[in-house]
Structure 1
Amino acid sequence: MPRPPRCRRICGIPKIDAFYPSGCEDAEPILLTLDEYEVIRLVDLEQQTHEQCAAQMDISRSTVQEIYESARRKIAACLVHGKPLHITGGNYRICGGQEAAHCGRCCRMQRGNIEKSGKNCKGDSIMKIAVTYENGQIF
């Protein structure tokens, strides 16, 4: 039995969620999920690598690759066949600046404010090194 898919973290819902070619409002629309939209935004617009995108969305790099290929096929079909594009649905959660790490501009601004205040958030990385002394105690 396969494990359930992970919820993909996105920074926010797009302001515009539908695109229509001139004179084709009645054609069957192609649905682009919000996680596909986020991958396209991060990889093509923000010029992140698939590794960076995977870390930000809290998914694996191979999943980013699959989502990216699917999204590009859908966008290409819209352009070539003149079909409307709707951005909706998908398996996602919206970060909106509330999560500590890796979620776009909104979270980087939030993170900058946290770093200035000196507070640590859940999920922040803190490196600790164990040093042993001759008597075997660890400090």
Structure 2
Amino acid sequence: MYVDTNARYFKPRGVPLEHLDIIRLTFEELEAIRLKDLIGLEQTEASEKMGVSQPTFHRILKEARNKVSDALVNSKAIEIFGGDYEMGNNQFRCINCGHFWETDADSEEDSIRCPKCNGTNVKNINSCIHNCEGKKSNKI
């Protein structure tokens, strides 16, 4: 799992954090949202990536979505904090065919080829979490 270390809190603009109720979102809840909603994986593949059963993944995702919805609708801050997680490998998605894969290789995007279609139009998903310009973000 990759998280931008500079973004631990999200809050409504113009309201001091001390005046807001805070919703606590775990890293595993954030990862569930990232895999399902941002990357667009099916629940089966997302649950495998997280190493949990499909029912457990569904519960984590449902709780995460409820928390984010509560924060957005009721003007609350979101704090992203610990949880049960481990760091992942480099994760890529092919722009041409949509294939998603992980690799231990520490290569630049321009040298990576899609294992499904052999295309070179790939994006490092890790760097796109908070910065879709292709620049590397901080990883923890």
TM-score range for the pair, normalised by the shorter chain length: 0.5 to 0.7
Unaligned runs of 5+ in 2: 93-100, 108-140
TM-aligned CA deviation for residue 13 of structure 1: 2.6
**Retained in 2: the 8 A contact 1:24–1:82?**
no
Query: Map of 1:38-117 to 2, 5 A cutoff?
Result: 38-95=31-88, 97=89, 104-105=91-92, 108-110=102-104
**TM-score scaled by length of structure 2:** 0.62
TM-aligned CA deviation for residue 57 of structure 1: 0.9
The amino acid across from 1:20 in the alignment is K
Cα RMSD for the two superposed structures: 2.5
Asked whether 1:36 is paired with 2:29, we answer yes
TM-aligned CA deviation for residue 35 of structure 1: 0.2
Q: Output the CA distance in 1 between the equivalents of 2:22 and 2:91.
A: 29
Match of 1:12 in 2: 2
Unaligned runs of 5+ in 1: 1-10, 98-102, 114-139
TM-aligned CA deviation for residue 89 of structure 1: 1.3
Larger Rg: 1
The amino acid across from 2:4 in the alignment is P
**Retained in 2: the 8 A contact 1:24–1:83?**
no
TM-aligned CA deviation for residue 112 of structure 1: 9.1
Identical columns (%)? 27
Greater share of residues in strand: 2
The one of 17, 22, 29 equivalent to 1:25 is 17
**TM-score scaled by length of structure 1:** 0.62
